[in-house]
């Protein structure tokens, strides 16, 4: 929901989703989560409370207190009513220079404050063309999760977002996405994590017309949706995928 900047617009979008997906939410058939900007986080969390819709922050700081003017700590996010936080998004890594080490500290801080984490990994077009996809994403996972104790593995979700497919209209084929997802799950096993208890989402230009093929893959457990999440009907169709 990066473009839904105004709190009123964010609330209107969520109200539309709550109405459109009411039956799905009531049945608890699929876990649905929205990630509004910080300016709308509290109001959206209040709107979603008790209605089956989960709420995530788009980022958080890696320290819990101190003189860090302008930063938002995990504790602040929890107090606002969010249950999840998105970390390591490609834009944070590429534009703001967040390193694997910094992302790791954020993961630890968020988990320590009871937040569930969606950890993003992904490669650039140059890295894919050079055959470095698995080396890059496995390196990001290793830096983010190696040695990390997960008392509740389900609180850590991976999101594979090929950078070359974000906002470009391009998308990995279901087979390409499955190959990487399977490698990521194997990597989790090697790191000692119960990979079968952890979800791996695909996030790269997921749209109503490609979600069914992606979700039919064995190791794709869900979708991290970008632009299509800003339209109620488009997002609802993705939620209602047919695998």
Give me the residue label for tokens 């169709």. Answer: 237
- Taken in order 6, 10, 11, 12, is the CA torsion positive or negative? positive
Query: Which among 143, 199, 231, 213 has a CA at the least distance from the CA of 171?
Result: 213
From residue 13, give the alpha-carbon distance in Å to each of 32, 44, 211: 14, 10, 21
Rounded to whole angstroms, how far apart are CA atoms 181 and 157? 12
Our answer to whether residue 175 is catalytic in this structure is no
* d(C-alpha 222, C-alpha 199), whole Å: 8
Asked if 181 is an active-site residue, the reply is: no
Active-site residue, selected from the candidate residues 84, 89, 181, 193: 89
CB 61 within 8 A of CB 106: yes
Q: Which of 98, 123, 138, 161 is catalytic?
A: 161
Catalytic positions = 89, 161
């Amino acid at each position: 929901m990066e473009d839904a900047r105004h709190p009123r617009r964010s609330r209107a979008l969520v109200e539309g989703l709550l109405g459109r997906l009411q039956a799905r939410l009531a049945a608890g058939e699929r876990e649905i989560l929205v990630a509004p900007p910080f300016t709308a986080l509290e109001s959206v969390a209040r709107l979603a409370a008790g209605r089956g819709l989960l709420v995530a922050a788009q980022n958080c700081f890696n320290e819990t207190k101190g003189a860090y003017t302008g930063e938002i700590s995990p504790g602040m996010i929890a107090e606002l009513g969010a249950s999840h936080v998105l970390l390591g998004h490609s834009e944070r890594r590429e534009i703001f220079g967040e390193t694997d080490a910094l992302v790791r500290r954020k993961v630890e801080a968020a988990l320590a404050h009871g937040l569930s984490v969606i950890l993003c990994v992904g490669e650039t077009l140059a890295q894919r063309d050079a055959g470095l996809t698995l080396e890059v994403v496995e390196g990001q996972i290793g830096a983010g999760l190696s040695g990390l104790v997960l008392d509740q593995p389900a609180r850590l979700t991976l999101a594979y977002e090929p950078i070359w497919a974000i906002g470009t209209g391009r998308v990995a084929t279901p087979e390409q996405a499955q190959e990487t997802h399977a490698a990521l799950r194997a990597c989790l096993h090697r790191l000692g994590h119960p990979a079968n208890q952890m979800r791996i989402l695909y996030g790269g230009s997921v749209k109503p017309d490609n979600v069914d093929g992606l979700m039919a893959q064995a190791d794709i457990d869900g979708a991290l949706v970008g632009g299509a999440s800003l339209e109620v009907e488009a997002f609802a169709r993705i939620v209602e995928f047919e695998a």
